[in-house]
Amino acid sequence: MSKDATPFRLWPLAVETFVSTVAVMSFVALVGPLSRTLGLAEWQAGATVTGAGMAMVLFSRAWGTASDRHGRRRVLLVGVVGFALAYAALSAAIVASLVARPSPWLVFSLFFVLRTMAGGFYAAVPSTGAALVADHVDQADRAKTMAKLGAASAAGMLVGPGMTGSLASYGLSVPLYVTALLPAGACVVLWRTLPNEAPRGREDARPLRLTDPRLRRPLVTAFVATSSVIVAQVSVGFYAIDRLRCSEEEGARVAGIVLTSVGVALILSQVLVQKLAWPPLRLIRVGGSVAAVGFLAVAWADRPLLLYASYFVAGAGMGWVFPSMSALAANAVQAHEQGRAAGTMATVNGVGLILAPLIGTGLYTLDPRVPYCVIGALLIVLMPWPARRSPA
C-alpha cells in the first residue's frame, strides 16, 4: 500500500535517463580534447571511463537490494542526488584545471576519483528504475515500457555529443556548465513526482545469487548484447581506416556517422516495440536475429554506405533486445526480488562494458572482420535458448 496518493508515472524516469545519458556522453565526447589540452595520456583518459564502469559493477546489486529493503523512492533519490553532486564536482574540477593547469597526474587523479564516484551513484538509476517499472507494470507490458526508457537513453546518446560539439565552439568549459545543471534539474523532477511507497522486500528473503537459474537466460543475453554493442563501437573507427582505406580524419567522420545511425535505429526500433504486443522472449529472438544479420554484414562492407546500412540494421535489432532482456529478468522473479534482479542485470552489463573493449581489440588484431563474425555467431547461437517459466 502506498504511503501517499502520488501515482506512478514513467515520464520522470525517462527524463532522468535522458539527462544522465546526455551528461555521460558529453564527458565521453570531451575526454579526448580535454586530455590533449591538459596533457593526459590516452590510457589515463580511458581509465577515467573504465573507472565508472567498474563502480557500476561493484554497486549495482547493492543499490538494487537496498531499494527492496528501504523503498525505491529513497534509494533512487540518493543515487541521482549523489550523481548530480559528483558530476558537478567533476565539471568544477575540469574548469579549474583549464584555468590553473596543474600537473597531469593531479588532473588524472581528480578526474578518476570524481568520475568513478559519479558512476557509483549512477548505478542506482538503472537498478532501481527497472525495479520501479516492474512494481507497477504488468508482465505483458514491461518490454514496451522499458523500450520507452531505452528510447530516452538513445536520444541522450544522440543529443549529448551533438550538443557538446556545438557548445565547445565557445570553449571547452561551456558544455560543462550546461551539463552540470541537467542532473540537478532531474533531481527536482524525481523528488516531486516519485511515489512514496513501502519497501517491497522481505526480511526473510534469501540473497539473489548471480548463478540463480531463473536469471541465467536474461544474464547471458545481457552480457552478449552489451558486449556486442561495445565491440562494434570500439572497432568501427579502426575498421573504416583498415578495411575502407579511409584516412584518419575520414575514418573519424565515417565512425561518427555510423554511431549516429545506430542511435537513430535504436530510437526507431524501440518506438516500434511500444506498438507491438509481443512477449519479451519473442522480441529477443527476432531482434537478436536481425542484429546478427547486421553484424555479419559488416564483414562484407567495403564502402561507407554499406557500413552505415549494416550498423543501422544491427542497431535496430539490438533496440528490441535491450528492453526485452530487462523485462525477461523482471518476469522471472518475485515482487520482493525486483531490485536485486535489476541490480544483477546492471552488474552484468557493467562487466560487459569493461571486458568487451579488451575482447574486441584482441579479436580485431586477428582480422578486422573477426569481431563482427564472432558477435554475429554468438547472437545466432543464443537466440533459440528457451527461458524458464515465469513465476505465478
pLDDT higher than threshold 90 for residue 56: no
For residues 190 and 12, the answer to whether their CB atoms sit within 8 Å is: yes
C-alpha cell at position 376? 554475429
Rounded to two decimals, what is the model's pTM? 0.76
- Give the residue ranges of DSSP H helices in the chain: 11-38, 42-70, 72-100, 104-122, 124-136, 142-168, 173-193, 216-242, 248-275, 280-298, 304-332, 338-366, 370-382
| pLDDT band at residue 203 using 50, 70 and 90 as cut-offs | low
Tell me the average pLDDT of the chain: 83
Question: What are the extents of the domains in the chain?
Answer: 11-192, 213-382
For residues 231 and 360, the answer to whether their CB atoms sit within 8 Å is: yes
Q: Among all chains, which residue has been given the C-alpha cell 515500457?
A: 145
Q: List the single range of 15-29, 165-179, 224-238 with lowest mean pLDDT.
A: 165-179
Rounded CA-CA distance 124/126 in Å is: 6
pLDDT higher than threshold 70 for residue 235: yes
| pLDDT the model gives residue 391 | 46
The CATH number assigned to the domain with range 213-382 reads 1.20.1250.20
How many of the other CB atoms lie within 10 Å of CB of 233? 17
Please name the amino acid found at residue 215.
L
pLDDT single digits (tens) 291-309: 999 999 999 998 999 999 9
Give the percent of the chain with pLDDT over 70. Answer: 91
- Give the residue ranges of DSSP H helices in 137-207: 142-168, 173-193
| pLDDT band at residue 2 using 50, 70 and 90 as cut-offs | very low
In the predicted model, what is the mean pLDDT of residues 62-70?
85
Cα(first)–Cα(last) distance of the chain, in Å? Answer: 21
Q: Do domains 11-192 and 213-382 have the same CATH topology?
A: yes
Helix pair angle (216-242, 338-366), 10° resolution: 30
C-alpha cell at position 259? 554511431
The CATH number assigned to the domain with range 11-192 reads 1.20.1250.20
